[in-house]
Structure 1
Amino acid sequence: MRVIFLQDVPRVGKRHDVKDVNDGYAMNFLLPRKLAEVANPKNLAELERRKKEIVVKKEIQAELLEKNLEELKDKVVRIKAKADEKGHLFSGIHKKEIAVALHEEHRVEINEEFIDLEKPLKTLGEFEISVKVGNKKSFFKLVVEAE
């Protein structure tokens, strides 16, 4: 049976793939769990429409990211966190918290996956954070202060 995968299924297929699988596997596992749908002409046309939509969204996102990277230069982001008297944070500052702070303070929306941070920040102070999208790179200053 030919199916369209709605979600990634390990060792079988990825989302939006069209593949032939055993009838029993499709009927008893994939279809009831909404992991795939039957690849009929109507569903294949819908899949093509969804793929075109995704391409358009990615192009728009790429343009917005380039604009956001330009806005990032020379920005200072401040995050307050609980710390002990030696300046060590009780909880590290992760990429997600940095992305949220960027959005709250400067209305610059950058996905956390583009923030170049090897490990969470665990101390108070100033840090130079880089954001890399494709081959473009931008920097901003992050100041971690005690609450």
Structure 2
Amino acid sequence: MKLILKQEVSGLGSAGDVVEVRDGYGRNYLIPRGYAMAWTKGAQKQIDAIQRARESREIADRDTARAMKERLEAGPIQLKAKAGESGRLFGSITPADIASAVVDAGGPQVDKRRIEVGTPIKSVGEHTVTVRLHEDVSAKIKINVAAA
């Protein structure tokens, strides 16, 4: 099955890429979740628009990405969330929360879609997340979650 990716999918490609996947993976996972749409000849205009938008958001070169990585890894990011007495959060910390906390801490603007949270952050304490800055550069950020 030939599909056009609407957003980045780890291990498959980034927005605007035309990929060939198995029918079940495309029909049961990628399309229902809005990650991809069926490829047609007329969809080429959409592919071009998606790729132009991606290029405007991309970090220009590896050196800029490495400098951004050093700024992000400089120190832990402090986040406050409502938590119970046992330290368990009411809800979880999302990539959007992390992106806004990075900016509040004086860090660079980070796209929430580039933040990868391995396991959901649902407890108070220190956690580590990965930010993909460039295809070759990713930063590991320490998140310090405190009860509010």
User: TM class by shorter-chain length?
Assistant: 0.5 to 0.7
| Higher helix content, 1 or 2 | 1
Q: 1:67 & 1:12 partners in 2: Cα distance?
A: 37
The corresponding residue for 1:145 is: 146
Amino acid at match of 1:136: V
The corresponding residue for 1:57 is: 56
Contact kept? 2:72, 2:107, Cα under 8 Å:
no
Which of 8, 14, 17 aligns to 2:44? It is: 17
Specify every segment of 5 or more residues in structure 1 that has no aligned partner in the other structure, as ranges.
1-9, 19-35, 37-47
Q: Can you list the C-alpha shifts for 1:79-117, whole angstroms capped at 9, x where unaligned?
A: 100000000000100111101110111231111122121
The corresponding residue for 1:114 is: 114
| TM-score for both structures, normalised by structure 1 | 0.59
The answer to whether the aligner puts 1:79 opposite 2:79 as a matched pair is: yes
Where in structure 1 do 4 or more consecutive aligned residues deviate above 6 Å? 50-53
Q: 1:14 & 1:75 partners in 2: Cα distance?
A: 48
Root mean square deviation of aligned Cα: 3.4
Specify every segment of 5 or more residues in structure 2 that has no aligned partner in the other structure, as ranges.
1-36
Go from structure 1 to structure 2 and tell me whether the alpha carbon gap of 1:122 and 1:16 turns closer, same or farther (over 3 Å shift): same
Contact kept? 1:68, 1:110, Cα under 8 Å:
no
The answer to whether the aligner puts 1:69 opposite 2:96 as a matched pair is: no
Q: 1:11 & 1:90 partners in 2: Cα distance?
A: 38
Per the TM alignment, residue 72 of structure 1 is displaced from its structure 2 partner at its CA by: 0.9
Local SS of the residue matching 1:74: coil
Local SS of the residue matching 1:57: helix
Q: 1:139 & 1:113 partners in 2: Cα distance?
A: 15
Amino acid at match of 1:138: A
The answer to whether the aligner puts 1:126 opposite 2:126 as a matched pair is: yes
Considering only CA atoms, is the larger Rg found in Structure 1 or Structure 2? 1
Q: 2:50 & 2:115 partners in 1: Cα distance?
A: 27
Amino acid at match of 2:144: V
| TM-score for both structures, normalised by structure 2 | 0.58
